[in-house]
Structure 1
Amino acid sequence: MLAFVGFTFFAQAQQILQGIVKTTDNTPIEKATVTVDGTKTATSTDANGKFTLQIPAGKTKITVRALGYALTQKTISSDFKNEIEIILEKDDYKLEEVVVSGSLKQVSKLDSPIPVEVFTAKFFQTNPAPTIFESLQNINGIRPQINCSICNTGDIHINGLEGPYTMVMIDGMPIVSGLSTVYGLNGIPQALVERVEVVKGPASTLYGSEAVGGLINIITKTPTSAPRFNVESFGTSWQEYNLDVGGKFKLGKAQSLLGANYFKYGNPEDKNGDNFTDVTLQNRISIFNKWNIDRADNKLFSVAARYVYEDRWGGEMNWSRKFRGGDEVYGESIYTKRWELMGAYDLPTTENFTFTFSLNGHDQNSAYGNTFYIANQKIAYGQLTWRKEFGKHDLLMGAAYRYTYYDDNTVATTEASKTHLPGFFVQDEITIHPQHKLLLGARYDYNSIHGSILSPRINYKWNSEDRTQVLRIGVGNGYRVANIFTEDHAALTGARQVVFVDNLKPETSWNGNINYIKKFYMPGGSVFSVDASAFYTYFDNKIIPDYETNVNQIIYGNLEGHAVSKGVSLNIDWAHSSGLKAMIGSTLMDVYSVEEGIRQQQMLTEKVMGTWTIGYNLRRHKISFDYTGNLIGPMKLPTLGENDPRPDKSKAWSIQNIQVTKQFNNGWEIFGGVKNFLNWTPTKGGIEIISRSHDPFEKIDDPNLLPFDTSYVYGPNQGARGFLGLRYNLL
C-alpha cells in the first residue's frame, strides 16, 4: 500500500513535455540532446526534431545542445503548453563542430589534435560579399591583401605570411594553387558553401607543398543537406551586382547539387582624382556541379566540377578595349578561363581505401599596359589513402602524385615547365587516454626539379574530463617551391625590371604552436569561450622580393640568413540565449628577416590586427543586426626610396560594416546595410597610391621623375557603399 501511494505521488509530480527543436530557418534538428537541469533526465530528438521528456511539476529549466549549434536554455513554467518550439542558432566556434582538415577524417573540433577553426555559411552572411576572398576579412589572423592598385589581384595572409604560403582547397582537394593563387578564390558560389575550415601553421605532412603558412578548406554542401532551391542576390551603390543560385535534384541513384554565380561591376570610379580606376571592373561567371552516387555499404562516390570565366580591367579612365596591349592609354586587362574536376571514391574492399583526385586547367591572357602575359597551367593530382584503427591507434597512410604543367611568354620561361611530385605520408593518431592524444606524422616527396623533401610533424592534445578545455601543442616542418610569376603580379605590372639572383631554392620552415580553448557555461543561458594561441615559424632560403636596392627593379633571391614569423592570438566568443552574440579576436605578430646581422621588418605585414562580429537577433520579430569590422595596424610599404613623397609606413586602418536582416515565414530574407561606413581608403590625407600616374609609359624624359609604380597598396581602395539584397531558401 505504501509503495502504491509513493508511486501515485511520483506520477503526479511528473509532467510530460513534448516539443520540437529547429534551426532559425525552420529545419528540424536530429539528435539534439534535451536535459532537465540538475538531474540525469535527458532525451534526444528524432529525425523530425521532436522529443518527449518527463519533467518535474512546477517551474523547470531545460538545456538543449546539438552538434554545431549554440547551447540554449529554456525555463518551463508550471502552466506550460504541452508542445514547445526551441530554436537553435549556429555556433560558428563550437568545440564540437565537425572538421576534416586536421587529419583527413570527419571528427569533432574538440577531438582533432590539430587546431582547426570553423566558419559556417551563417558567419559569412553577417557581411555578404561576392567572393570568398573578401569574406575572409573578418577572421582573426587572416587578411586579404590587395597586391596591385590597378588590377586588384590579391592573396590571403595567414599570421603575417604571404598568400603563396597558404593552400586553398575545395572539399579537401588542392584546387587553388600556382597560377590561380590570385584568382582562384573568385567565383565560388557562396550559396553552396557549407563551411570554411582554417588551419594556421604548416600542414605539409598531409597536403604537401604550398601549405607552409596554413590552409583554407572550402567545404561545399552535400546534395542531401542542401535546400531544394536557393537564391541570393544583392547590389551596391557602386553599381556592383552579385547573383548566387543553387539547387539540387535526383536522377536514379545519383543526387546532384548545381549552382552558379554571376558578378558584374561596370561603373568606372575615380574618387581620388589620379585618372585611374579606383576599383577593377569585372564581369565573371562561375558554374559548379556536384554529384553523389549511392552505393552499397554507404561507400563514398562523389564527383564535382567547376568552370570560371572572368574579364577584368583597370587603368586610366578613358581606357577601352581598343587600347589593350598598346602604349597610348594605360590599362591592365585580364581574361581568365578556368576549369576544375575533383572527386572521391571509396574502393569496394573490406579495408578503408579511398582514392581522391583533381584535375584543373587555367588559361590567362593578360595585358599590363603594353606588356603581355600569356600563361597556361594544368595540374593533375591523385591520392590513395588507407585508414586502419587497431587498439589505441588510428593509422593513416597515403600515396600521392601531382603533375604540374606551366608555360608562359616571359623571358624567365624559355620552355614549358613539367614538374612531377610523387609523395608518401604516414600518420598515427594515438589515443593514450580518453583525455590525451598524440599525433605522429611524416611525409616524403620527390620533386623532379629539387629532389627529396621530408616533412615530419608531432602534435599533442589534452582535453578536460567535462570537455570544456582543450590544450594542443604542435611542431612541424614545411617546404615550398616558388613560382614568381604565378604568385606575384608586382613582377608584371608597373615599369620595374624583374631580376633573379641565381636559381631559386625551395624554402624550408620549422613551426611550433600552442593552442588553448576554454568554454564557460554561464548563468542565464550564456556561453563564453576563450581561444588563445602562440606560434613561431623559422624559415631557411626564404624568397623575399627586394623593392629597395634599386627603385627600377624587383630583385628575387633566397635569403642568405633566416626569417621568423612569431606571435600570439586571442579569440573571445560570447553568446546569450537572448539573441546577443559577439566574436572578437586579436593577433599580435612580428614577421622579420635577418641577413648579415641586419634585421628587416617584412614588407606589407602589420604587427597587430583585430576583428569582430557582433550580432543581435530579435527572434520574435525575426530581425537580426550585425556589426562587423577589422582593425589593421601600421605596416612597412614598398616606396621608391628617399625621393618618394609617399609615406614608407601606413597608419592603422579599419573597415567596418553594419547590416540588418529580416526573415519571413515563407523562406525569404531581405538584408541591407553599409559597407566601410567610415569611408576609409588608402588615399586618405591626399596620399597618392600610383607613382607617376600622369605618365604610365614613362614617355617623359626626365631623370628626376620616379618610375611608374602600382605596388604601393595595402588595403581596399573602395570607400563607403550601401547594399541591399534578397535571399530565398526552399527546403
Structure 2
Amino acid sequence: MRCLLFFIVFSLIGLLVRGQDLVLKGRVISSSVALSKASLRLVELQRSTQTDTAGMYGFVALAKGKYQMKVSALGHRTQVIQLELTGDTVLNIELVENKQELKEVVITGTQKEVDRLESPVPVEVYSAKFFQKNPTPSIFDALQNINGVRPQLNCNICNTGDIHINGLEGPYTMVMIDGMPIVSSLSTVYGLSGIPNALIERVEVVKGPASSLYGSEAVGGLINIITKEVNKAPTLSLDWMSTSYLEHNLDLGYKAKIHPKVTMLLGVNYFKYGNKVDDNLDNFTDVTLQDRISVFQKWNFSRNENRLFTLAGRFLYEDRWGGEMNWTKAARGGDEIYGESIYTKRWELLGNYQLPVKERMFFAFSLTSHQQDSRYGTTSYIAQQNISFAQLTLDKKLKNHDLLFGTAFRYTFYDDNTPATLSINQQNNPENTYLPAIFLQDEIKLARKHAVLLGIRYDYNSNHGNIVTPRFAYKVNFDENSILRLNAGTGFRVVNIFTEDHAALTGAREVVIASALKPEKTYNANLNFLKRVYAGGHTFTFDVSAFYTHFNNRIVADYETNANQIRYDNLNGYAVSKGLTGNLDVILDFGLKINTGVTLQDVALVEDGLKSQQILTEKWMGTWSVSYLINQLNIGIDYTGNIYGPMRLPLLNDLDSRQPYSPIWSLQNIQFTYRGFKGFEIYTGVKNLLNFKPTRNNPFIIARANDPFDKQVQFGNNGNAVATPSNPYGLTFDPSYVYAPNQGIRAFFGLRYHLR
C-alpha cells in the first residue's frame, strides 16, 4: 500500500513538472535578415530574453495558457503577439523597419499637421523620453540638452533667465504652449521655470524666421511646448525626484472620463527647495530658494466626424528668493539685509475648436494673466500683464496648392510701478497694445520632389503702425531620406525693456532710455540638409544647418559707459548672427543610442565700423546624450552633457578683477533607470559630474557682496564709482556676472509610476 501511494505521488509530480515544461522558441527577422539583440518579453510572467546573432530566441519551463509577448528591436516597429500554448511551440516573427521618426507629425513650422518629412520648414522634435534622460523640475532646465538652445541665467541671486537659440537672446525666442503664444515677455523671464516636464508630450523647435506666421518675438526661432494628449495619457501617473541639494519635485497626473464624450486630464506639479547653501562664502545664497505649485487641466470633447475641441488651463504660484544668508521676509524691501524676493501668480486658459463646417476651419484662443510682486533690495517692482489672443484659420487644398488663411488679434495690457508706465505729467498710464493681423501661406507642389512655401503677414501695431513680414521656403527631396530646405523671411519685435532685462529691475543700476526706441527689424535665412541612412539594422541621421540673421534698429543695453547705469538705445549700426549647426543621431541594433550636436556661431554688434562680440554669447557649443539598455537586467543608462566655448562677460570697469571671458565649461550627468517592475521605473544618478561652478578661477562672483546697498561706495562726477582703500577696484554692487548654474555635483533619486 505504501509503495502504491509513493507511485501515485511521484506520477502526479511528474505530470505537474511536464505541464510546466513547455518550450516556446523561434527566430526574429526583418526583410529576411536575422535580427540580433531583439528583445522579447512575456508580459504576464515578466520574463525577458534576447535573440542571438542568428536571430534565435527561446523560453523554457512554461505552463499551458494564454500569454502576451512584446517583441521590439531598435529601428523597428514593436509587435505585441497574443499566444495560447498547448504544447511546445515554434514561432517565427518578422518585424517591420520603422521609419516613423522621420515621418512623425509636426505642426509648428506651418501651423498645420504635416509629416515631418513633408514639412518645408525644418522642425526638430524632442519627446518626453528625451527629457527624461536628464530629469529636471522644469522645461527651462531641460532645454540645456538641445543643440543650439541654451538656458541663460541672468542673475546670480534670483536665478531668473531666458532661452537663447543660435546665440540670439531670449526676447528673440517665441515660446508657445500648444501653439498659443502665451509665454510673453514678462513670463519669459519668470514663467518658464513653472512649466513642469510632466505636462509635455513633445517639444518642437524651429530655428529661424517665423514672424510671418507668428508675429512679433518669433525672430530667431520658436519653441512649441505640446502638452499631453488626453486620450493617450495614462489613467494615473507619478514622478517624484529629490537631490542631495534637498531639491524636491513631484508630478501627479490623473485622467478621468467625465462623460462618454468628455475626458479630463489633471496634472499637479510641486517643487520645493529650501536649503540655504553658501559654498563660496560670500554670505549670499548660491542657489535661489523656491516654493512653486502648478495645477494643469486639459479637457477633450468628442464630436461628430472627429472634429477637434480641446480646452486647457493652468495656474502657477511661485515664491522665490535669494540674498544674504540671514535674510528673512521681515527684511523684504528694507536696506539692512539684501534680498531679492519674487511672488508670481499666473493663470492661463487656451482652447482650440474646429468649426462645424465642411472646410477645415479652426478657432484658437488664449487668455493669460501674469501678476508679479518683487523686491530687489529696496527696489520694488510690481507688475501685471494680461494678454488676450484669438486666431481663425482656414486650411484649404487646391490641386498643387496647400493654402492657409488666417486672421489673428492680440491685446496686451501692461502696468507696473516703474517709469515705463508713467505719462509726461507723471501719472500712471498703463500700456494697452492692440495687434490685429492677417496672414496667408501657400505651399506649392512644383513637382514630386520639389515644393515652395510663400507666406506674408500684415500686422497693425497700435503703437508703431503697419508691419509687413514676408516668408519664403523651398524644399527638395532627393529621395525619401534626403531633404534640403531653405527658409528665409523678415521679422519684427517691439520691446518693453522692463519685462525682459532683470538687471533693469535689481536696483543695482539706474535705467536710462536715451531716445524713443524704434521696433527692431530683421532679415534672416536658414539652409538645412537632412540625411538618414539605414545599414544592417543601424540608423544614422545627419542634420546640418547654416543660419544668418541681420538686425536693423537693434536695441542694446550699454553696461560699460557708466557702471551705475544701464543705457538703452537703438544701435547706430547693425547686428548679425551667423553660423553652422549640426546634429548626428545614431541608433545601433545592440541597444546603443547616441545623439550629439555642435553649433558654431558668430553673434556680434557693428557700430561705427567696430565689431564687438555680444555679451554672454558663446562662440561654439556642443551637446550629447548616450543611452544604452541592458535588456537582461532591465536597466537603462543615460550619459548626457553639454560644453560651451568662452563668452564675453559683463565687467564693471577696467579694474574689475573678475575674468573678462568665461572658461570652456561643461555640465555632465549620468543616470541609471531600472524598469523591471510593472508600471514602475526607479532612477538615480549624478548631475554635474565635473563639479563645475562659475566661481572657479574668480576672486568673487557678486561684486561688492559685502556692501549690497553701496553705502560705502564713493562716486565721481561722471557717476562711476572711484577706487578707495575699502573699494580698491572701484566697484558697485552687481549680481549680473553670471553665465552658468552655481550648483556643484549632486546626486538624485526618483520614482515614476504609470497606470494605463
1:635: how far off? 0.5
Residues 578-593 of structure 1: pairs in structure 2 closer than 5 A: 578-593=590-605
Q: Alpha carbons of 1:271 and 1:625: their partners in 2 closer, same or farther (altered >3 Å)?
A: same
Letter matched to residue 157 of structure 1: H
Letter matched to residue 81 of structure 1: V
* Counterparts of 2:267 and 2:119, CA distance in 1: 31
Q: Where does residue 496 of structure 1 map in the other structure?
A: 509
* Counterparts of 1:696 and 1:448, CA distance in 2: 41
From 446, 450, 453, the counterpart of 2:467: 453
Give secondary structure in 2 for the equivalent of 1:135. helix
Work out whether 1:443 is the aligned partner of 2:457: yes
* Counterparts of 2:533 and 2:741, CA distance in 1: 37
Q: Where does residue 53 of structure 1 map in the other structure?
A: none
* Counterparts of 1:190 and 1:690, CA distance in 2: 31
Deviations 1:253-282 (A, max 9, x none): 111111010000000100011110000000
Q: Where does residue 120 of structure 2 map in the other structure?
A: 113
Retained in 1: the 8 A contact 2:341–2:374?
yes
Retained in 2: the 8 A contact 1:373–1:408?
yes
Work out whether 1:358 is the aligned partner of 2:366: yes
Q: Where does residue 418 of structure 1 map in the other structure?
A: 432
Q: Alpha carbons of 1:600 and 1:518: their partners in 2 closer, same or farther (altered >3 Å)?
A: same
From 554, 567, 577, the counterpart of 2:566: 554
Q: Where does residue 81 of structure 1 map in the other structure?
A: 90
Retained in 1: the 8 A contact 2:211–2:490?
yes
1:70: how far off? 5.3
Q: Alpha carbons of 1:69 and 1:150: their partners in 2 closer, same or farther (altered >3 Å)?
A: farther
1:506: how far off? 0.6
Q: What is the TM-score normalised by the length of structure 2?
A: 0.86
Residues 467-546 of structure 1: pairs in structure 2 closer than 5 A: 467-523=480-536, 525-546=537-558
Q: Alpha carbons of 1:352 and 1:548: their partners in 2 closer, same or farther (altered >3 Å)?
A: same
1:621: how far off? 1.9
* Counterparts of 1:686 and 1:417, CA distance in 2: 42
Residues 295-314 of structure 1: pairs in structure 2 closer than 5 A: 295-314=303-322
Deviations 1:621-641 (A, max 9, x none): 210100000001000011011
Q: Where does residue 612 of structure 2 map in the other structure?
A: 600
Retained in 1: the 8 A contact 2:558–2:567?
yes
Residues 19-30 of structure 1: pairs in structure 2 closer than 5 A: none
Q: Where does residue 246 of structure 1 map in the other structure?
A: 253
Alpha-carbon RMSD across the aligned residues, in angstroms, is: 2.4
Give secondary structure in 1 for the equivalent of 2:90. coil
Q: Alpha carbons of 1:336 and 1:86: their partners in 2 closer, same or farther (altered >3 Å)?
A: farther
1:189: how far off? 3.1
1:477: how far off? 0.5
1:60: how far off? 8.2
Work out whether 1:152 is the aligned partner of 2:159: yes
Retained in 1: the 8 A contact 2:600–2:621?
yes
* Counterparts of 1:384 and 1:19, CA distance in 2: 55
From 211, 222, 246, the counterpart of 2:218: 211
Give secondary structure in 1 for the equivalent of 2:558. coil
Q: Alpha carbons of 1:722 and 1:543: their partners in 2 closer, same or farther (altered >3 Å)?
A: same
Name the % identity. 58
Q: Where does residue 144 of structure 2 map in the other structure?
A: 137
Q: What is the TM-score normalised by the length of structure 1?
A: 0.89
Letter matched to residue 709 of structure 2: F
Residues 611-650 of structure 1: pairs in structure 2 closer than 5 A: 611-650=623-662
Retained in 2: the 8 A contact 1:565–1:590?
yes
Q: Alpha carbons of 1:385 and 1:529: their partners in 2 closer, same or farther (altered >3 Å)?
A: same
Letter matched to residue 650 of structure 1: S
* Counterparts of 2:113 and 2:736, CA distance in 1: 42
* Counterparts of 1:20 and 1:247, CA distance in 2: 40
Retained in 1: the 8 A contact 2:77–2:95?
no
Q: Which has the larger Rg?
A: 2
Letter matched to residue 223 of structure 2: I
Q: Where does residue 678 of structure 1 map in the other structure?
A: 690
Q: Where does residue 718 of structure 1 map in the other structure?
A: 743
Alignment coverage as a number of residue pairs: 673
* Counterparts of 2:247 and 2:236, CA distance in 1: 24
Work out whether 1:378 is the aligned partner of 2:386: yes
Q: Where does residue 752 of structure 2 map in the other structure?
A: 727
Q: Where does residue 709 of structure 1 map in the other structure?
A: 734
Letter matched to residue 245 of structure 2: W
1:572: how far off? 0.8
Q: Alpha carbons of 1:701 and 1:544: their partners in 2 closer, same or farther (altered >3 Å)?
A: closer
Retained in 1: the 8 A contact 2:219–2:492?
yes
Residues 153-172 of structure 1: pairs in structure 2 closer than 5 A: 153-172=160-179
1:323: how far off? 0.1
Q: Where does residue 193 of structure 1 map in the other structure?
A: 200
Work out whether 1:72 is the aligned partner of 2:76: yes
1:677: how far off? 1.1
* Counterparts of 1:60 and 1:655, CA distance in 2: 40
1:72: how far off? 3.0
Q: Where does residue 295 of structure 2 map in the other structure?
A: 287
Letter matched to residue 492 of structure 1: L
Q: Where does residue 235 of structure 1 map in the other structure?
A: 242
Letter matched to residue 90 of structure 2: K
* Counterparts of 1:701 and 1:654, CA distance in 2: 36
1:433: how far off? 1.9
Retained in 2: the 8 A contact 1:189–1:288?
no
1:36: how far off? 2.8
Letter matched to residue 431 of structure 1: K
Poorly superposed stretches of 4+, deviation over 3 Å:
17-21, 83-89
Work out whether 1:315 is the aligned partner of 2:317: no
Give secondary structure in 1 for the equivalent of 2:420. coil
Q: Alpha carbons of 1:73 and 1:242: their partners in 2 closer, same or farther (altered >3 Å)?
A: closer
Letter matched to residue 534 of structure 1: A
Q: Alpha carbons of 1:687 and 1:579: their partners in 2 closer, same or farther (altered >3 Å)?
A: farther
Q: Alpha carbons of 1:73 and 1:101: their partners in 2 closer, same or farther (altered >3 Å)?
A: closer
